[in-house]
Amino acid sequence: MQIDPIFQVAQEAFLFYKTLSGKEKGDFLDKIADILESQRAEIVPLAVRESNLPEGRINGELGRTTGQIRLFANLVKEGSWVEATIDPALPDRSPLPRADIRRFLTPIGPVVVFGASNFPLAFSTAGGDTISALAAGCPVIYKAHPAHPETSRKVAECIHQALSASNLPAGIFTHVEGGIAEGQALVQHPVAKAVAFTGSHGGGMSLFQLANQREEPIPVYAEMGSVNPIFCFPNKLSNEMGALAKAFVGSLTLGVGQFCTNPGLLFVPANQAKAFESVLIEELKGIPAAPMLHSGIAQAYYDSIQHLESQGELRWIKVADPKHLLNGSTALAEIQVADWLKDKLFQKEVFGSFALVVVYQDVAELSEVARQLQGQLTITVWAETEELQSQVSLINLLEEKCGRLLFKGAPTGVEVGNAMQHGGPFPATTAPNSTSVGVYAIKRFARPIALQDMPQDLLPDALKDGNPLGIWRRIDGNLTK
């Protein structure tokens, strides 16, 4: 792979692309969405074949992908995301006059994006990372996930068609295939200014360390999954055992458990554990076995479970059947909270539909659990209102350990919107102050610059007097439009 030319065209494209208006970038993004929709009939079968995921899911995922693209298109067309902030000159201020200072967000430069295996569309070639970087004004060098090469090539073609139809340079998006070495070389190239990744802890951390060892360190936005604990409180559980079991099993088995927000820990009161487990087993009977994304993932799933099976602390409720390796059948095991607290192994994500039921004797034990809990994408609390009221300090602790805290439903099904936070304290991500889903994802790929006493005609429209873009701006500290 010739890597220098890739970054050379990306850098050249960047210096042009960053000068486009929000309208122009938004139209380009919309064009990508249009072309993807128009080629749905070709894209979906490819992704189904390469992911083992059912057609309904992939159809939905394509809709999610184009919906996400249009969300970012609208965001940049509207334009207020650049945080335009103006402190006008105060020439007569004493003892010193104030210069005219105007700040806004500017794109950081070419970004390396790694595709995820579990979302061949929504977190891959034209997925959230690529689109939020393009929306910010950054060219993308996209490293395709080897699990779905043809889907990736096809979607890359669509992006290139959109570039061409928009008269934009091809260097704005480059599709790269290869293995670990190629991915590392991309991260190490001096022109790269940030990295976005969704995948395993090992993969994310190796890129993170590599990026920090560069002559110029660059940020790595790695979303590395988590075990997404659910805390069941006694009254809630006795009042809604059936519904909660349905919600839990649905979330656990959705997409054969291959979601970053898959719930892998379920905290249950001791005197209800047996009954709840029976309902769970009953509920699981209705879930047909389904193939995992690829044999490597299935193998890792069974290996992880085998390793856990050697732990004496676990009592197995339902054992995954490795006879048909690719079918990632659900596994459930029970552990006492005292044993769970002893070993961080029990907080390690098992990618697939496995969960640990952690049995506690007393709600008071959950504070220690919260203290020892590692950073999570999500934490869910199932409790009646009156149970919550006495748990303010537990909630306070749990907030420190997650990016999203839920009080109803299950953590899977990450809404793409304005308020979504898909991220969380380490080890869920390497950048807890960022999100990889929702409109704020764009901020990862921009940095502030202040322009001091810049002549009006050189200023970007976002900062010109008279607010030609009609965006929200902070002038002398006050938001105004």
Map the footprint of a second copy across residues 60-119, applying CB under 8 A: 80, 83, 85-87, 96, 98-99, 101-103, 106, 108-109
Q: Smallest Cα–Cα separation from 254: which of 290, 226, 282, 283?
A: 290
Q: Smallest Cα–Cα separation from 126: which of 173, 185, 57, 58?
A: 173
**Among positions 5, 390, 450, 470, the unique one binding a second copy when judged by CB under 8 A:** 450
Interface with a second copy, residue 405, by CB under 8 A: yes
272-301: contacts with a second copy (CB under 8 A): none
Do β-strands 473-475 and 331-336 pair in parallel, antiparallel, or remain unpaired? unpaired
- Both structure tokens of 20: 């486009």
Do β-strands 402-406 and 101-107 pair in parallel, antiparallel, or remain unpaired? unpaired
CB of 413 to a second copy, least distance (A): 7
CB of 61 to a second copy, least distance (A): 13
Q: Which is nearer to a second copy, 44 or 218 (CB)?
A: 218
**Among positions 243, 319, 345, 449, the unique one binding a second copy when judged by CB under 8 A:** 449
Residue range at the interface with a second copy (CB under 8 A); choices 127-135, 233-241, 271-279, 473-481: 473-481
Q: Smallest Cα–Cα separation from 185: which of 22, 3, 366, 352?
A: 3
Count interface residues toward a second copy (CB under 8 A): 79
From residue 477, give the alpha-carbon distance in Å to each of 82, 257, 474: 15, 47, 5
Nearest-Å Rg of the Cα atoms of the chain is 24
What residue has token string 């220690």? 368
Interface with a second copy, residue 363, by CB under 8 A: no
7-46: contacts with a second copy (CB under 8 A): 15, 18-19
156-215: contacts with a second copy (CB under 8 A): 208-209, 212
From residue 55, give the alpha-carbon distance in Å to each of 45, 119, 408: 7, 13, 28
Interface with a second copy, residue 458, by CB under 8 A: yes
Residue range at the interface with a second copy (CB under 8 A); choices 29-37, 271-279, 305-313, 387-395: 387-395
Q: Are 258 and 118 a contacting pair, CB within 8 Å?
A: yes
CB of 415 to a second copy, least distance (A): 6
CB of 410 to a second copy, least distance (A): 10
From residue 138, give the alpha-carbon distance in Å to each of 12, 81, 133, 262, 281: 11, 15, 5, 31, 49
**Among positions 79, 127, 219, 352, the unique one binding a second copy when judged by CB under 8 A:** 219
Residue range at the interface with a second copy (CB under 8 A); choices 133-141, 268-276, 325-333, 407-415: 407-415
CB of 274 to a second copy, least distance (A): 29
Interface with a second copy, residue 372, by CB under 8 A: no
**Among positions 12, 396, 465, 468, the unique one binding a second copy when judged by CB under 8 A:** 396
What residue has token string 């139809």? 165
Residue 101 makes CB contacts below 8 A (sequence gap 6+) with 86, 87, 450, 451, 452
CB of 385 to a second copy, least distance (A): 6
Interface with a second copy, residue 417, by CB under 8 A: yes
Interface with a second copy, residue 409, by CB under 8 A: yes
**Among positions 91, 202, 312, 455, the unique one binding a second copy when judged by CB under 8 A:** 455
Q: Which is nearer to a second copy, 108 or 314 (CB)?
A: 108
Q: Which is nearer to a second copy, 83 or 157 (CB)?
A: 83
Residue range at the interface with a second copy (CB under 8 A); choices 112-120, 318-326, 347-355, 430-438: 430-438
**Among positions 332, 446, 462, 469, the unique one binding a second copy when judged by CB under 8 A:** 446
Q: Smallest Cα–Cα separation from 98: which of 403, 477, 435?
A: 477
Q: Which is nearer to a second copy, 227 or 292 (CB)?
A: 227
Residues noted as catalytic: 223, 260
* Helix residue spans in 79-141 (DSSP H): 128-136
CB of 409 to a second copy, least distance (A): 6
> Which amino acid is residue 162, in one-letter code?
A
From residue 450, give the alpha-carbon distance in Å to each of 21, 104, 397: 19, 7, 38
Interface with a second copy, residue 375, by CB under 8 A: yes
What gap in Å lies between CA 99 and CA 139, rounded to an integer? 33
What gap in Å lies between CA 23 and CA 64, rounded to an integer? 22
What residue has token string 């749990």? 398
Interface with a second copy, residue 402, by CB under 8 A: yes
Residue range at the interface with a second copy (CB under 8 A); choices 36-44, 144-152, 321-329, 412-420: 412-420
- Omega into 88 within 30° of 0, i.e. cis? no
